[in-house]
Structure formats: structure tokens, C-alpha cells
Amino acid sequence: MVRLQKVMGSGRDNTIVLIPAYNESRTIGDVVLGITKTGMRVLVIDDGSTDNTEQAALDNGAMVIGHSRNLGKGFSVRDGIRHVLEKNDFEWIIMMDGDGQHHPEDIPVLMDATQAEETDIVIGNRMLRTETMPFLRYWTNRFMSRVISGICALHIPDTQCGYRLIRVSALKRMKLTSKKFDIESEMLIRAAASSMKIISVPIQTIYGGETSMIKPMRDTIRFCALILKYCFNLDGLRRSEKADGGRTSDPPRDQRS
């Protein structure tokens, strides 16, 4: 009798946390420490910060890849993914921000969702408790989530949430091209185009006095450009992805740990 091997869910040993960061010295240390003290490994992509982000991450146990100049969140995420794929040591990647809006306490919530059923992406949902969410951010999230959900033919309540857990084998099938904050939307569109399973789980909604790196007008234009790419099937957004790992030209960087 042939026995099928069950695909393993996410756990501390087979998962790495990827954090793109730009001038986050005030918060990145506590975020990294909250993860490394559980025994999990953390990779920070320091995207040309001019403050002490890199050293704060290193001091609290993270590996750091540094960019010599600011290249954008999407570029940083793709750079981190490429590094993980090259090492081939992990089955899952958790993506989160370093500004304190994503709490390490929610990591088990994302992981637990992979134990009960086989899935490819688990995305955090902040839209159940929105009292502290800024007015503009709330309505932007609602609008973009409705559009992306329609494209994906799947209800995803918070498509703009960067706190997500993704199977490495799924990332190998995506040809990601976004350089800025539209990376989150592109990832979901490409996953849906390849019939990957996407689920959402509730996470904490945290907003403090931090300054958002998102620029509503500029990033809305980028979002619309992404939708046009989908409508006209540019970059293969409506085709099944091939296993090319989403490779791009190497940015200027160095690695420290």
C-alpha cells in the first residue's frame, strides 16, 4: 500500500519570519526580540535606512540584509524571498512589518490555521475591530479589499494586511514584480490565478503614533496600475504561474548576522 506523506503545517522549526524595514529603529528591536525569544529565526531586510534599524535588529538576534539605498517594500520582500529560496531551509515564510503594528503574539494564530487544513496563504484580518484604525486607512482597505476579492473570486476581508504566512513552495510558483506596497495585492492575485488556497484569520488591530509609509494618492495610482495589468493580462497576472521563483535582478545589498 502506498502511504501519502502529509504536507507539514507551519511550526517554529520550518518557518522563518521576514521583516522589510525602513527607518524603524524605534520599534524593530522589540518586534525582533518578541520573535527570537521563542526560538524562531528572523530575517530583516533593511531597505536603506538612515537610522539605527540594522543594529537594533542585529542586537536582538535577527539576520540582516542591507540595501545601500531605499528600493521599496516590494523590492525588499522579493529580496528576502529570494534569499530564503536560495537557502532552502524552510517550508513557510511569515511576512510582517517592523513598525509595531503586527504583534508577534499573533504568529501562533497564523500557524494554527495551517494545522487543521492544507492551505497556501494565511492572511491576517484586522477588519473585525477597527476602532483604532485611521479613517482614511479604513476606507482604503475596504475599497481595495473589495476589488481584489472580486479579482480573486474569493472573499478576503483585509487584502492590504502585510501580516501573512505563505508556503515556500507557493512562492516558488509566483513571478512577483511589484517594488512598492502593491506587493501584497499582487501576491494574492497571482496566488488566486494558480488556484492556491487562501484563508483569513483574525489578528490584533494596532495603530499608535507611527507615521505610515503608505502615501494614499501615489499608492492608489500604483494599485490602479496593478488592476490594469490584470485586466489586460500583463505580466501573466491571469495565467498560472511557472516555478521560476519570481527571480529579479539582484539589488545592491550586503548580509549580516
Per-residue model confidence as pLDDT tens digits over 188-243: 999 999 999 999 999 998 876 555 555 556 666 766 776 777 665 656 666 544 44
More confident residue, 179 or 60: 60
Separation CA 26–CA 113 (nearest Å): 31
248 in any annotated domain = no
Q: How far apart are the first and last CA of the chain?
A: 47
214 in any annotated domain = yes
182 in any annotated domain = yes
152 in any annotated domain = yes
pLDDT at 75: 96
Task: Assess contact for 22 and 53: CB atoms under 8 A.
Answer: yes
Task: Assess contact for 248 and 175: CB atoms under 8 A.
Answer: no
Residue 4, pLDDT > 50, answer no
249 in any annotated domain = no
Average pLDDT over residues 180-192: 92
9 in any annotated domain = no
Burial of 133 (0-12, 13-18, 19+ CB in 10 A): middle
Task: Give the per-residue SS3 of 154-171.
Answer: CCCCCCCCCCEEEEHHHH
- Structure confidence by residue, pLDDT tens digits, 121-154: 999 999 888 888 888 888 888 988 999 999 999 9
Q: What percent of the chain has pLDDT over 70?
A: 80
Separation CA 219–CA 243 (nearest Å): 29
- Structure confidence by residue, pLDDT tens digits, 6-39: 557 999 999 999 999 999 999 999 999 999 999 9
Amino acid letter, 152? C
pLDDT at 243: 40
Confidence class of residue 84 from pLDDT cuts 50, 70 and 90? very high
Angle, helices 183-193/135-152, rounded to nearest 10 degrees: 20
- Could you tell me whether strands 92-95 and 164-167 are parallel, antiparallel, or unpaired per DSSP bridges? antiparallel
Of 65, 62, 121, 61, the C-alpha closest to 94 is 121
pLDDT at 247: 38
pLDDT at 254: 63
Task: Assess contact for 25 and 46: CB atoms under 8 A.
Answer: no
4 in any annotated domain = no
Burial of 172 (0-12, 13-18, 19+ CB in 10 A): middle
Task: Provide the residue range defining the domain that includes 174.
Answer: 15-242
Count of domains observed in the chain: 1
Is the torsion defined by CA of 47, 51, 53, 59 positive or negative? positive
- Structure confidence by residue, pLDDT tens digits, 94-123: 999 999 999 999 999 999 999 977 899 999
The CATH number of residue 96's host domain is: 3.90.550.10
pLDDT at 213: 55
21 in any annotated domain = yes
